[in-house]
Amino acid sequence: MARLKAINPDEATGKTKELFNAIKGKLGSVPNMMRTMGNSPALLEGYLNFSGVLSHGTLGAKTGELLALAVSENNNCDYCVAAHSYIGEKLVHIDADTIQNARNAKAADAKTDAALKFATMLVAKKGLVNDSDVDAVKAAGFTEGEVGEIVGHVALNILTNYFNNTADTELDFPAAKVLQQVEA
């Protein structure tokens, strides 16, 4: 059972109603994570703005989804693993093997593999990466700006992972349980 209540879009008021209307106009519905974030219009608007800006970055939608899968798996977020598996397959058209590999921070393409490894390293080291960690991702072909975008994607996904793990958000995507539970 969810720890934080998802707001019914028909009952939303004020800024939350405005944000829900924009989400519904774009997606056709308001996913439970956003309905739950709607309890704090500032949080929901911040999430939407950050996500929207990153979606126009140079890494692209596919890399963004693969990063989300690697980070979400690492943070044991069932909601985000399910959401990004679905989005990756249905909207970005990523094949099932690539999705599964990303959940394990692996990719057939060496450049993408380096990004996934760097992202999970950021999570494991709580952002305290060293020179050789950054040099490795740059040596794989990422610019300094793209390294920054990877950090941004990691931060965005940590936000949603921690939010959904705290809220115990009710799943509204096909289930895709995390591969390994990490003990706290």
pLDDT tens-digit series, residues 133-165:
999 999 999 999 999 999 999 999 999 999 999
- The position carrying tokens 């959940």 is 103
| 98 & 40 share domain | no
pLDDT for residue 51? 97
Q: Alpha helix (H) ranges present in the chain?
A: 14-27, 32-37, 41-54, 60-74, 78-90, 96-103, 110-124, 131-139, 144-167
Regarding whether 156 and 66 lie in a shared domain, the answer is: yes
pLDDT value of position 82 = 96
Shared domain check, 132 and 101: yes
Q: What is the pLDDT of residue 182?
A: 46
Query: Confidence band (pLDDT; 50, 70, 90) for 77?
Result: very high
pLDDT in tens, 13-57: 999 999 999 999 999 999 999 999 999 999 999 999 999 999 999
**Are the C-beta atoms of 105 and 72 separated by less than 8 Å?**
no
Number of domains in the chain: 2
93 in the same domain as 32: no
Dist. CA 45–CA 13, nearest whole Å: 14
* 101 part of a folded domain: yes
CA dihedral (161, 9, 2, 45) positive or negative: positive
pTM: 0.93
Neighbours of 30 (CB within 10 A): 25
Same domain, 36 and 70: no
pLDDT of 76 over the 90 cut: yes
Task: Judge if 79 and 159 occupy the same domain.
Answer: yes
Which residues form the domain of 78?
60-167
Residues 96 and 18 in one domain: no
Task: For residues 154 and 93, state if they share a domain.
Answer: yes
**In-domain check, residue 172:** no
Is 4 part of any domain?
no
Asked if 46 and 82 sit in the same domain, the reply is: no
Residue 95 counted as domain residue: yes
* 138 and 49 belong to one structural domain: no
